[in-house]
Amino acid sequence: MNGGEIGVEKIKLVKKKEYPQLKKLHESFDISEDSEVCLAVGGDGTFLEAAREFKGPILPIRGGEKDSLGFHADFTVEDIDEIISELKQNSYTVEEYSKLKITCKGRVYNAVNDVVLFRASPKSVHCKVYYWENGERKPLFPKDLKGDGVVFSGQIGSTAYNFFAGGPIIHRADVIIVTPLSANYNTSIVSEGEFCVEVTKSEGSIEYDGFTLGRLVKGEDFTVGKSTEKIKVIHLRPRESFSEKLVRLHLF
């Protein structure tokens, strides 16, 4: 349970459409940008937007539509009375997930879901993926990675692009997944370390969470590691089990 005698009084509300059930939130809380918690109402895109904007705990709530997935959302707008009650009683827990830190062309970015290097032309992009061991940079794959590109994701992004590219779903592990995209290597690698990707032939486009950072040509590189910034996800009781989520989202 979240500590403290006084329940939640102020919330930030992130949504992409209006739901009549949300009227009760306005009656029960002070809706403010300067809030204790954030409610992200909708699907994974809404949660992603909230995680980029809000540094505190976020409660994902599914909109209720058939196409509103929301892997981390245990409740829908139909559960609004229970949600209000639990928040008012401070009856919730908070789980933290690491964002991904990207360093590219002298600038630093933080990703919620994933970082992707994708070919920038019809030709395959070639790149070397490195990791560090005892301060020494070493190749992760025996030879250059050749194909459509490579995606890096953490635990929270493992059910997004990574999964649909054939990568594993991560359960309760603060790691980074490296998943090749239609490449000469088709095995994902899971590690706690930091990686460097150097383009060796053709061009690649680097993106994070759907935002394009630009193109990389031969000899240019970027690094990916775990960020000090965290995504804080609120869970109410009772919560949906991990296996129940997999069934709901038809992942197995």
What is the C-alpha to C-alpha distance for residues 118 and 14, in angstroms, rounded to an integer?
30
User: Could you tell me the two tokens for 187?
Assistant: 């095995």
88-106 tens-digit pLDDT = 999 999 999 999 999 999 9
What is the C-alpha to C-alpha distance for residues 189 and 210, in angstroms, rounded to an integer?
22
Please say whether the beta carbons of 68 and 42 come within 8 A. yes
Can you tell me the mean pLDDT for 111-138? 96
Please say whether the beta carbons of 4 and 85 come within 8 A. no
In the chain, the largest separation of any two C-alpha atoms, in whole Å, equals 60
- Binned at pLDDT 50, 70 and 90, residue 200 comes out as very high
pLDDT at 71: 78
Q: Give the residues across from 37 on adjacent strands.
A: 11
Choose between 106 and 242: higher pLDDT: 106
- Binned at pLDDT 50, 70 and 90, residue 68 comes out as low
Which structural domains are found in the chain, ordered by start?
10-91+237-248 (3.40.50.10330), 99-228 (2.60.200.30)
User: Could you tell me the two tokens for 5?
Assistant: 């005698």
Can you tell me the mean pLDDT for 240-252? 76
Closest CA to 166 of 174, 175, 178, 154: 178
Contacts of 28 (CB under 8 A, 6+ apart): 84, 88
C-alpha Rg value of the chain to the nearest Å: 20
| DSSP for residue 186 | -
Q: Is 187 exposed, middle or buried (0-12, 13-18, 19+ CB in 10 A)?
A: exposed
Q: What pTM was computed for the model?
A: 0.91
Closest CA to 131 of 182, 162, 175: 175
70: left (phi > 0), else alpha (psi -120 to 50), else beta?
left
Residue 153's SS3 state is: strand
33-61 tens-digit pLDDT = 999 999 999 988 899 999 999 999 999 99
- Does the pLDDT value for residue 215 go beyond 60? yes
